[in-house]
């Protein structure tokens, strides 16, 4: 759980924005070979029937063609789509708190919380309710509008879920949006989360299906899709994205975006993480990704998911102000700060405030 929006003709607005996207895709550059048939088919489907949801809106090749545009053309297209759907100078701020750290049974190759890897992360029990509420209050005071609670579990057992439901209800009562990332959900658990007042559930696809087995073996891609279906079925907003820079190819980065963009309803929130390499994890030592490739990924996410919030998540701390500014220009409009919110000050929040002031960005 590193990282740690509607229906319509998904919507009515979505049909409009899809149209823009599709037309834009046709005109995005003479070198880009774009198959518009899927896009047209998707448009027709989404407009003709509420029941017949949009499918196959973006092929992997179409998304690769976006990546291959000249950088300025890609940024222009992304910024154009962004302005059609969002205030370009507003960024949503979420705070992530790890409510249960370390000791996880899974084998995600990037994660220091996996019990099997020898990292500096120690296994800790579930936090007490009062401590979570204090952290949520601090997040609110720092300007966060959403509070995300993450637990390093394969999935919650019922006895684990009960106290988390209380946390969600209390955080919601403070006037914050609530988000949780607890791993795979079993039947009936999404309903309980909904009843407690959960607004968003985060469960990342991580990467393209073809690369997934290189990173995780203890749960399948299908397991992840099923959890997302459970979340959708009870009308909790979906937060799902992935991690870039794990050694995947550009095609596989495009493959991840295609998975997300072609969902019946794309996630309302799409966290794009840059791999943070942690000593002791299998992915430590992976060749570093060119930062501009990360910016291109943000732009491609914005173009393919026009009405989703695209979130800069893990890895942001290692990016220069310049690269972060380019990410906002490419359409990122949500950030996480406080991977681990400290009780004594939050330097990350301070530096974000300075960056926002430099860029004239307002918090949502
Ligand atoms: S499931 Fe466990 S190992 Fe995988 S990312 Fe979450 S905490 Fe880390």
Question: Own/partner pairs for 281-290, CB < 8 Å, 24+ apart?
Answer: 281/109, 281/110, 281/111, 281/112, 281/114, 281/117, 281/119, 282/109, 282/110, 282/117, 283/109, 283/110, 283/215, 283/246, 283/247, 286/245, 286/246, 286/247, 287/247, 288/245, 289/244, 289/245
| pLDDT confidence bin for 36, thresholds 50/70/90 | very low
Q: Does the residue 20 lie in any domain? A: no
What is each CA distance from 133 to 76, 168, 256, 362, 363, in whole angstroms? 42, 10, 35, 26, 22
Q: What does the DSSP assignment read for 185-237?
A: --TTHHHHHHHHT--EEE---BS-HHHHTTT--SS-HHHHHHHHHHHHHTTPE
Q: Does the residue 294 lie in any domain? A: yes
Q: Does the residue 222 lie in any domain? A: yes
**What mean pLDDT, rounded, does the chain reach?**
83
pLDDT (mean) for 118-143: 91
Q: Does the residue 8 lie in any domain? A: no
Instruction: Give the residue, 357 or 315, on which the prediction is more confident.
Output: 357
What local confidence, expressed as pLDDT, does residue 94 receive? Answer: 84
Q: Does the residue 320 lie in any domain? A: yes
What local confidence, expressed as pLDDT, does residue 203 receive? Answer: 97
Q: Is residue 49 scored above 60 in pLDDT?
A: no
pLDDT in tens, 60-110: 999 999 999 999 999 999 999 999 999 999 999 888 899 999 999 999 999
Q: Does the residue 291 lie in any domain? A: yes
What local confidence, expressed as pLDDT, does residue 5 receive? Answer: 32
**Residues at CB less than 6 angstroms from ligand 1:** 1-2, 104, 106, 108, 111, 113-114, 152, 183
- Domain containing residue 309: CATH number: 3.20.20.70
Pick the atom of ligand 1 nearest to 112's CA: 8
If you take atom 5 of ligand 1, which residue's CA is the nearest one?
Answer: 1
Annotated active-site positions, please? 104, 108, 111, 148, 179, 239, 311
Total count of domains within the chain:
1
Residue 157 lies in domain: 83-363
Angle at 301 between CA 300 and CA 304, to 5 degrees: 80
Q: Does the residue 255 lie in any domain? A: yes
CA nearest 293: which of 261, 246, 260? 246
Q: Does the residue 189 lie in any domain? A: yes
Q: How far apart are CA 288 and CA 219, in angstroms?
A: 26
Pick the atom of ligand 1 nearest to 154's CA: 1
Pick the atom of ligand 1 nearest to 106's CA: 3
Provide the whole-model pTM.
0.82
Written as six digits, the tokens of 227 are: 């959890």
């Amino acid at each position: 759980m590193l990282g740690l929006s509607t229906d319509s003709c998904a919507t009515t607005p979505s049909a409009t924005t899809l149209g823009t996207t599709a037309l834009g895709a046709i005109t995005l550059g003479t070198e880009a070979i774009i198959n518009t048939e899927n896009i047209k088919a998707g448009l027709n489907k989404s407009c003709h029937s509420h029941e017949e949801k949009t499918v196959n809106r973006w092929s992997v090749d179409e998304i690769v063609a976006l990546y291959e545009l000249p950088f300025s053309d890609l940024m222009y297209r992304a910024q154009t789509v962004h302005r059609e759907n969002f205030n370009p100078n507003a960024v949503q701020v979420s705070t992530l708190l790890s409510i249960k750290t370390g000791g996880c049974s899974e084998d995600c190759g990037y994660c220091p919380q996996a019990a099997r890897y020898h990292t500096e992360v120690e296994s800790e029990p579930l936090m007490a309710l009062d401590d979570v509420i204090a952290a949520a209050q601090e997040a609110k005071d720092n300007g966060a509008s959403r509070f995300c609670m993450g637990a390093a579990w394969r999935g919650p057992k019922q006895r684990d879920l009960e106290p988390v439901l209380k946390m969600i209800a209390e955080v919601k009562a403070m006037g914050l949006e609530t988000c949780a990332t607890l791993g795979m959900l079993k039947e009936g658990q999404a309903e309980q989360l909904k009843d407690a007042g959960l607004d968003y559930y985060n469960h990342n696809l991580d990467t393209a299906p073809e690369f997934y087995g290189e990173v995780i073996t203890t749960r399948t891609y299908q397991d992840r899709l099923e959890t997302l279906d459970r979340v959708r079925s009870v009308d909790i907003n979906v937060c799902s994205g992935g991690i870039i820079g794990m050694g995947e190819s550009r095609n596989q980065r495009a493959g991840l975006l295609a998975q997300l963009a072609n969902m019946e309803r794309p996630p309302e929130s799409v966290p794009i993480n840059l791999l943070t390499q942690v000593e002791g994890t299998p992915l430590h030592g992976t060749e570093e990704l060119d930062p501009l490739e990360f910016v291109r990924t943000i732009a491609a996410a914005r173009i393919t998911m026009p009405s989703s919030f695209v979130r800069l998540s893990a890895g942001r701390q290692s990016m220069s102000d310049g690269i972060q500014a380019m990410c906002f220009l490419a359409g990122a409009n949500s950030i996480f700060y406080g991977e681990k919110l400290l009780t004594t000050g939050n330097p990350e929040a301070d530096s974000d405030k300075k960056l926002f002031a430099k860029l004239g960005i307002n918090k949502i």
